[in-house]
Amino acid sequence: MKNKISIVCLLLFICSALSAQIPNKLTLNEKIYGLSKFWSDVEYNFVYLYKTDQPKWDKAYREAIVSIQKTENNYQYYKELKKLCAVLKDGHTQVYFPEDIENKIMVSMFGEYRLFLMNVQGKVYVIGTNKSKEKEIPLGSEIITVNGLSTAEYQDKFVKPYISSSTVSYLNFKAGVNLLEGVNGDTYDVEIKTPKGDIRKLHLTHSKTEETAVNPEALPNQSLFEFKWLKNNIAYVKISSFENSSVVKDFESKLSELKNAKGIILDIRNNGGGSSKNSKNIAKYFVKGDTIYGAKNYSRKIIPTERALGSFLTPKDTVAGKAEWGLSKQETTDLFKAYSGSKFHEFEYKPQVIEPVEKLNIPTVVLTSVLTASAAEDFLIYLYNQKNITRIGDYSNGSTGQPLQIELPGNGSAIICTKKVTLPDGEEFIGVGIKPHIFTERNLNDTLYPVKFDSQLEAGINYLKKTVKN
């Protein structure tokens, strides 16, 4: 009996010691203020509030008021804010940990173990380990259970509720990578199934991994711009970001060579965005004519008096108007939209004139993925209806817009999307992604051995071979 008591006391001591490593500097008043500030700024500024399940959003806020009062440190507090944010399901609306908390979060380190995970076609696989564990945990092993739950159940309960994502595809990607996210001392009982079908159990505890050698060896840092020639006189151009205008200069330095290509592959699969101006300054070489069409943009039109009038109306009033008030159907609809947050200011839409440049009127494939986001999606829109452009790969990220940045207590922050963006014809792609002309999903070999296998690139090359022959 004494031994059992001693063990319990030791565990309590360890938990207390681990918890003490996470700062708890925020007062209850500060926690409530931060929660309410985020909620109120969403209510006033979030452009997709009209799409949000309002009862669910209100319920989540009320629950957060209770839950944040039970948080024991700043990490737990910000997790609750993230959980509330995730209800909005928007990639450009996020809550960010303070830097001192972010630096304590672990994803792949478990002391003697190092595990890198990835979602591939709905399952989570080990795509990397520390070198000493490569035989115990072969690459391509599937994570089948976590803490007694199937991987899917564990994600649904403990991972996905804290991820704000516009699309299911990116939610699944993020939940795979961050399946075992936690802080020092967090433990996980994991079952894996090796490629040969063997079931193995691991008890993992987050702590720093001293071993630096990994399998496979880390690829060299990828440059923002890459150019090379493939077979059949096909030029390959990889642009990993539109953040820096240097990529435009790099691209333009290759124009004389690109003009001689039979086909071009533009790889923006890992391009998370940056400056739309930079993306336009590359896209202009592929569009026909001297104008370029971008996305249509909208923002909420908030006039308090209109919202006040709309608060007395119901959806039924928008069907035929409210005769006793002397309001037509259109007037009641506008007022009700103002109240519900779906009345928009439409920014002036017109094609942008571009300076005369020599065009690359060459069959071109653009490779896309779930990581193709923001300004990279603006790039796809600039090229949207060009006959010489073919999109191959996955649906894009489905998230762009102008975020409003706000500060939160304890040096954390949040962003809230204020701009609704659509394709030039008004079709919405937020929450869906921009559809490829030829859908090609990455497989496990692509993920485990990217130097040897790339089915999306191969699909692009095969398409251009056929096109060039014709």
Q: Is 339 exposed, middle or buried (0-12, 13-18, 19+ CB in 10 A)?
A: middle
Peptide bond into 55 cis (omega under 30): no
Return the bridge partners of 106, or none: 182
What's the CA gap between 83 and 272, in Å, rounded? 23
Q: Quick one: which of 294, 288, 333 has its CA closest to 315?
A: 333
Query: Residue 176: is its pLDDT beyond 90?
Result: yes
What's the CA gap between 432 and 157, in Å, rounded? 23
Identify the pLDDT of residue 7.
34
Report residue 165 CA to chain centroid gap: 6
Percent of the chain with pLDDT over 90: 89
Q: Which band of pLDDT confidence, cut at 50, 70 and 90, is reported for residue 12?
A: very low
Q: Which band of pLDDT confidence, cut at 50, 70 and 90, is reported for residue 222?
A: confident
14, 300, 307, 332, 418 from 344: Cα distances, Å: 54, 4, 13, 15, 11
Q: What does the pLDDT look like over 13-25, one tens digit per residue?
A: 334 344 446 878 8
* DSSP code of residue 123: E
Structure tokens at 83: 């959980």
Q: What pTM was estimated for this model as a whole?
A: 0.89
